[in-house]
């Protein structure tokens, strides 16, 4: 059974998780490597802030949608680790807004070009598309507000005004990499 160290990361209620790396074990004088549990207990002394409670859990005790809504994990009143759907929906909306902003920037050049040499019909179509992009987060918010499970939210297709489809996984990729990099940088400072 794969073990994980979990603890509340900050006042937001976010749950931090540490998974044993395969080659990070200390060995004794006989060459025997420490167990996952020994490793996690040792690491807890390094990464868990003073006064914060922590525990070791099996992989089966963590939400099934392990990675995509990892930053939305919270501890329920019964001690289970669950995905806070309000937070998960907010992550999706933030991803949609970021992608939408990029799409609006991409259309700026076309707007300028059409202002100079486009026909009134072309300018009107382009203005309608840009307005649809501006309104798009509200469209997605109404769609995902009724979704009740993390898996259903993860599987929900994001269909843009131009008909292109993006998955929720694609929306979150950049944000998760940045969050992971910040966490690793913080952990390295604590160990050094």
Q: Is the pTM of this model over 0.85?
A: no
Give the model confidence (pLDDT) of 1-15 as tens digits: 588 999 987 777 788
**Confidence at residue 170, expressed as pLDDT on a 0 to 100 scale:** 79
Contact 190, 49 (CB under 8 A): no
Give the model confidence (pLDDT) of 19-42 as tens digits: 877 778 888 888 888 888 999 999
Residue 82 burial by CB count (10 A; 0-12/13-18/19+): exposed, middle or buried? middle
Work out the average pLDDT over 108-136: 92
**Confidence at residue 139, expressed as pLDDT on a 0 to 100 scale:** 96
| DSSP SS3 for 3 | strand
**pLDDT beyond 50 at 177:** no
How far lies 164's CA from each of 22, 97, 103, 160, 167, in Å?
40, 16, 12, 5, 10
Mean of the per-residue pLDDT values of the chain: 84
How far lies 125's CA from each of 7, 128, 136, in Å?
51, 5, 16
């Amino acid at each position: 059974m794969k073990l994980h160290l979990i603890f509340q990361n900050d006042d937001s209620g976010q749950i931090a998780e540490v998974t044993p790396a395969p080659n990070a074990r200390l060995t004794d004088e006989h060459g025997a490597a420490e167990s996952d549990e020994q490793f996690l207990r040792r690491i807890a002394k390094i990464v868990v802030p003073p006064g914060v409670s922590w525990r070791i859990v099996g992989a089966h005790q963590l939400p099934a949608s392990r990675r995509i809504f990892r930053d939305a994990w919270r501890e329920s009143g019964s001690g289970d680790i669950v995905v806070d759907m309000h937070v998960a929906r907010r992550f999706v909306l933030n991803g949609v807004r970021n992608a939408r902003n990029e799409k609006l920037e991409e259309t700026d050049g076309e707007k300028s070009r059409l202002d100079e040499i486009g026909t009134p019909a072309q300018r009107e179509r382009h203005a309608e598309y840009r307005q649809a992009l501006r309104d798009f987060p509200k469209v997605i918010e109404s769609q995902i507000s009724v979704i009740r499970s993390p898996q259903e939210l993860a599987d929900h297709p994001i269909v843009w005004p131009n008909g292109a489809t993006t998955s929720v996984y694609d929306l979150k990729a950049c944000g998760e990499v940045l969050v992971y990099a910040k966490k690793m940088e913080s952990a390295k400072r604590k160990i050094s």
